[in-house]
Structure formats: C-alpha cells, structure tokens
Amino acid sequence: MSIFVDKNTRVVVQGITGREGSFHTRQCIAYGTQVVAGVTPGKGGQKMDEVPVFNTVAEAVAETGANTSLIFVPPDFAPDAILEGTDAGLELIVCITDGIPTMEMLKVMHEVTCAATRVIGPNCPGIITPGQAKVGILPGHIHLPGNVGVISRSGTLTYEVVSQLTKLGIGQSTCLGIGGDAVIGTDFVDCLKAFEHDPETKVVLMIGEIGGQAEETAAEYIGLNVTKPVVSFVAGLSAPPGKRMGHAGAIISGGKGTAHAKLEALQAAGVHVVQDPSQIGLTVKDVLAGL
C-alpha cells in the first residue's frame, strides 16, 4: 500500500515536449512509472520517445486511460493546465511549476475543490512511492521501500531527510512535497489522514517550515485523529521576521508563523519534535524502535 500513487498510476505529462518536461518524463519512466501520454497543444500526434503526445488532456485520458497528470508548463499557463486536468476528470494532478501568482491559484482551487481531483503543489517536487512509481522530479535512487510516510513543504530538504532515512536502512511508504507556495492543493492534514489509513505506513515524518498556520492546523489534527507516531522538523528557527525565505509561503508576518510557535503546537499534540535537522533520521529510527 501507499498513498496517492502506486504501480497502477497512469501518468499524462502536461508540457511533455519542453526541456524540463521531457527530461523528467524520461527520469520517471526509468524509475518504472507508467507514463502513458503527454500533452502539448499543437503537437498532438507526435511522440516524445515512445510516449504519444495529444493536444488536450481529455483526448489523452480517452485514448490512454491516464488518471494522473504531471505539470511542467510555465507559470503563466500552469493554472489553465490544472483546470484542464480537473475538467478531464483526473484523480490526481501534480504541479511542479514555481512562480504562479497567488490570485490565480485561489481561482483554480475554487474549481478544484468542486471536483473530485486532488492537486499536489504547485511549486513542489512531486510524489514517489518507492519501488512503484515516481510522479515528479525527486531523485528516485535515494528512496527505499518501507514504512515511513514523508510529507514536506520543501524540495531538497525532503531529499535530505529521505537520504538520512535510507542511509539508516529505513524505507518509506510514500514521500511527497506539498509545495512552498502560500496557496497549495493538498495540505498536511490531507496527507496525515491518508497515511493514518495506509496500513503500510507505521510512522509519519512531517517537514514544515516558517510561514502560515499549516503546521499548527496539522498539530490540531494530529492531536485528535492520528494514532501513528509523527516525527516533525520545522525549518527556519533562525529566520528573521518579515523576510520571504525563498518560498512564497515562507515568511513570518505580524508575529505569526514562527518556527517556535509551530514546534510548540506540534509538541503539545504529542509529536516527536526534532530541532537539529541532522538528527531527523536518527529520531525516526528511535521512534520505530519503540513501536
């Protein structure tokens, strides 16, 4: 088991003929992901390697039975791409694109929440179920199949913690980056809920960062609903207020969204909080040993 993606996931890549799109499509295929179609308007009928390219997502779905999309189109066109995927009835859309205006995402999310489609991202590294499928840009080789579910707001920091786990011989059930923007599709609570119900997952590792209230909301949810142990690190303890730390969503404003407040909330919910990011893997190991 796993959450959101597995070996049966059938992927359509939106923006497959672009530089990033084609590069990462090959990486996903090499990992074993079933990439069944690509979409680039105007290039329908062509092929990217062996992958058939369609003009619309609807056509791709009708012809290939794709149920998940991976989006690489530039920020100006990405909101439209998400809406197109939603309209085509996809189960899951993973949007890698960075730099989408907040207002556009607000409009998109209004539509998405009315549909049955799950959106992961934008501005995220995607999702991987080790040994089964990778839908995104995460480096496959650092992952190991296992029982730790990993959720994170960042990209390379996710790779960092996964690599700590793998080096200790600790595998992962599913790992996903939910994105660094202020407005994102799938949030911590959605993932916590899914991991709680996933029999394969024994421990959840949640990597937060400064800005917003997502970690506080997650803490509240964990306190009430999550029976599995949760380990958490929140990046940005040393970040100054008022400055956007790279990610659009990572800013401490009006005294809200500090790492301290988040750690306190998580601790109060019984989460194993790690302050030193180099010790995340070891903490998970201890928690697993205590099960």
Stretch binding other proteins (CB under 8 A), from 2-10, 33-41, 192-200, 228-236: 228-236
Query: Which residue of the set 197, 247, 260, 272 is catalytic?
Result: 247
Q: How many residues does the chain have?
A: 291
The token pair at 31 is 């990992």
> Which amino acid, residue 36?
V
238 is a contact residue toward other proteins (CB under 8 A): yes
Q: Which residue number, 32 or 65, has a Cβ lying nearer to other proteins? A: 32
Among 99, 197, 225, 267, binds other proteins (CB under 8 A): 99
CA–CA gap between residue 97 and residue 133 (Å, rounded) = 20
Count of CA atoms in the C-beta half-sphere (13 A) of 253: 11
56 is a contact residue toward other proteins (CB under 8 A): no
Among 217, 223, 258, 261, binds other proteins (CB under 8 A): 217
Among 254, 289, 290, 291, binds other proteins (CB under 8 A): 254
Cα 263 to Cα 57, 120, 215, 260: the distances in Å are: 42, 24, 8, 5
151 is a contact residue toward other proteins (CB under 8 A): no
Least CB distance from residue 40 to other proteins, whole Å? 22
12 is a contact residue toward other proteins (CB under 8 A): no
Among 246, 260, 267, 286, binds other proteins (CB under 8 A): 246
Stretch binding other proteins (CB under 8 A), from 34-42, 51-59, 152-160, 190-198: 152-160
**Contact of 154 with 123, CB cutoff 8 Å:** no
- Confirm whether 197 is a catalytic residue: no
The token pair at 231 is 């380990």
Helix, coil or strand: residue 180: coil
**Contact of 152 with 158, CB cutoff 8 Å:** yes
Backbone phi, then psi, for 35, in 5-degree steps? -90, 110
Count of CA atoms in the C-beta half-sphere (13 A) of 87: 12
The token pair at 39 is 């979409």
212 is a contact residue toward other proteins (CB under 8 A): yes
154 is a contact residue toward other proteins (CB under 8 A): yes
* Residues making contact with other proteins (CB under 8 A): 24, 27, 75, 99-103, 105-107, 109-110, 113, 137-139, 141-142, 152-160, 163, 180-183, 207, 209-210, 212-214, 217, 233, 235-250, 254-256, 275-279
Residues known to be catalytic: 247
